[in-house]
A and B are shown apart, each in its own frame.
Chain A
Amino acid sequence: MLMQQLVNGILLGSTYALIAIGYTLVFGVLHLVHLAHGEVFMIGAFVGLQVVLWTGAGGPIAVVAALASCALLGVLIHLLAIKPILSRKGHFLAPMISTIGVGIVLQELATRRFGGEQHGFPSRMESVTWHFGSLTLSSVQAVILGISVVLMLALHLFVTRSRIGMAMRATAESAVISHTLGIRTDRIILLTFAIASALGGAAGVLVGMSYNAISPFMGVEMGIKGMAAMLLGGLGNIYGAMLGGLIIGIVEVFSVAYLASSYRDAFAFVIMIVVLLVRPKGIFGSVHHVEG
Chain B
Amino acid sequence: MHLDPYVESVLIFTGINVVMAISLYLPVSAGLLSLGQGGFMAIGAFASAYLTTALATPFAPALLAGGALAGLVGLLVGFPALRIKGIYLIILTMGFGEIVRVLFLNLEPTGGASGLSGIAPHTTLPVVAAAAGLALAFCWQLRDSRIGWALNAVREDELAAETVGINLTRTKLSVFSLGAFIAGIGGGLYAHFTMFIDPAQFGFQRSAEIFIMVLLGGMGNFLGAALGAVVFTLLPELLRGLQDWRMTFFGTALVVMMIVRPWGLIGARR
Q: Show the binding face of A for B, using Cβ within 8 Å.
A: 27, 31, 33, 35, 80-81, 84-85, 88-91, 93-95, 97-98, 100-105, 107-109, 112, 220, 224, 227-228, 230-231, 235, 260, 262-263, 265-266, 269-270, 272-273, 276-277, 280-282, 290-292
Task: Check B88 against A88 for contact (C-beta < 8 Å).
Answer: no
The 7 lowest CB-CB distance pairs between A and B, nearest first, are A292-B86, A90-B262, A101-B254, A104-B251, A269-B95, A105-B251, A94-B262
From A94, A220, A281, A290, contact of B215 by CB (8 A): A94
List B70-99 residues whose CB lies under 8 Å from chain A: 80, 83-92, 94-96, 98-99
Please report the C-alpha to C-alpha distance between residue A81 and residue B262 in the assembled complex, in whole angstroms.
12
Task: Check B95 against A273 for contact (C-beta < 8 Å).
Answer: yes
Task: Check A94 against B98 for contact (C-beta < 8 Å).
Answer: no
For B244, what are the chain A residues with a Cβ–Cβ distance below 8 Å?
112
B82 to chain A, nearest CB (A): 10
- Known A97-B215, A262-B106: A277·B80 in contact at CB below 8 Å: yes
For B99, what are the chain A residues with a Cβ–Cβ distance below 8 Å?
266, 269-270, 273
For A107, what are the chain B residues with a Cβ–Cβ distance below 8 Å?
247
Residue B204 CB within 8 A of the other chain: yes
Task: Check B259 against A98 for contact (C-beta < 8 Å).
Answer: yes
Please report the C-alpha to C-alpha distance between residue A119 and residue B156 in the assembled complex, in whole angstroms.
49
Task: Check B215 against A93 for contact (C-beta < 8 Å).
Answer: yes
- Known A109-B248, A270-B99: A85·B87 in contact at CB below 8 Å: no
Please report the C-alpha to C-alpha distance between residue A128 and residue B83 in the assembled complex, in whole angstroms.
50
Overall SS of chain B's interface: helix
A183 to chain B, nearest CB (A): 24
Please report the C-alpha to C-alpha distance between residue A290 and residue B89 in the assembled complex, in whole angstroms.
10
Please report the C-alpha to C-alpha distance between residue A104 and residue B253 in the assembled complex, in whole angstroms.
11
For A277, what are the chain B residues with a Cβ–Cβ distance below 8 Å?
80, 83
Residue of B nearest to A95 (CB): B258
Q: What would be 26 A-B contacts, judged by CB atoms less than 8 Å apart?
A: A33-B91, A80-B255, A81-B255, A81-B258, A88-B262, A90-B262, A91-B215, A91-B219, A94-B264, A97-B254, A97-B258, A100-B251, A104-B247, A108-B251, A224-B98, A228-B91, A231-B92, A262-B105, A269-B98, A276-B80, A276-B88, A280-B88, A282-B88, A290-B85, A291-B86, A292-B87
Task: Check B88 against A101 for contact (C-beta < 8 Å).
Answer: no
Please report the C-alpha to C-alpha distance between residue A31 and residue B90 in the assembled complex, in whole angstroms.
13
Residue B263 CB within 8 A of the other chain: yes
Task: Check B91 against A100 for contact (C-beta < 8 Å).
Answer: no
Please report the C-alpha to C-alpha distance between residue A277 and residue B76 in the assembled complex, in whole angstroms.
13
Task: Check A94 against B258 for contact (C-beta < 8 Å).
Answer: yes
Please report the C-alpha to C-alpha distance between residue A105 and residue B252 in the assembled complex, in whole angstroms.
7
From B215, B251, B267, B269, contact of A103 by CB (8 A): B251
For A85, what are the chain B residues with a Cβ–Cβ distance below 8 Å?
258-259, 262
Please report the C-alpha to C-alpha distance between residue A118 and residue B254 in the assembled complex, in whole angstroms.
28
Residue of A nearest to B264 (CB): A91
Residue B102 CB within 8 A of the other chain: yes
Please report the C-alpha to C-alpha distance between residue A220 and residue B208 in the assembled complex, in whole angstroms.
11
How many A-B residue pairs have C-beta atoms within 8 angstroms? Tell me. Answer: 149
Residue among A91, A220, A227, A292 having the largest count of chain B Cβ atoms under 10 Å: A91
Residue B33 CB within 8 A of the other chain: yes
Task: Check B215 against A292 for contact (C-beta < 8 Å).
Answer: no
Residue of B nearest to A33 (CB): B87
Task: Check B248 against A292 for contact (C-beta < 8 Å).
Answer: no
Q: What 13 additional pairs, Cβ within 8 angstroms, besides A93-B219, A260-B106, A262-B106?
A: A91-B219, A94-B262, A97-B212, A100-B251, A101-B254, A107-B247, A108-B251, A224-B94, A227-B91, A266-B98, A269-B96, A280-B84, A292-B90
Residue among A93, A108, A273 having the largest count of chain B Cβ atoms under 10 Å: A93
For A224, what are the chain B residues with a Cβ–Cβ distance below 8 Å?
94-95, 98, 204
From B92, B94, B255, B263, contact of A102 by CB (8 A): B255
Residue of B nearest to A282 (CB): B88
B3 to chain A, nearest CB (A): 30
For A97, what are the chain B residues with a Cβ–Cβ distance below 8 Å?
211-212, 215-216, 254, 258
Residue B146 CB within 8 A of the other chain: no
List B200-258 residues whose CB lies under 8 Å from chain A: 203-205, 208, 211-212, 215-216, 218-219, 244, 247-248, 250-255, 258
For B204, what are the chain A residues with a Cβ–Cβ distance below 8 Å?
220, 224
Residue B103 CB within 8 A of the other chain: yes
Please report the C-alpha to C-alpha distance between residue A97 and residue B85 in the assembled complex, in whole angstroms.
18
Task: Check B80 against A101 for contact (C-beta < 8 Å).
Answer: no
Task: Check A235 against B251 for contact (C-beta < 8 Å).
Answer: no
Residue B2 CB within 8 A of the other chain: no
For A269, what are the chain B residues with a Cβ–Cβ distance below 8 Å?
95-96, 98-99
For A273, what are the chain B residues with a Cβ–Cβ distance below 8 Å?
80, 92, 95-96, 99
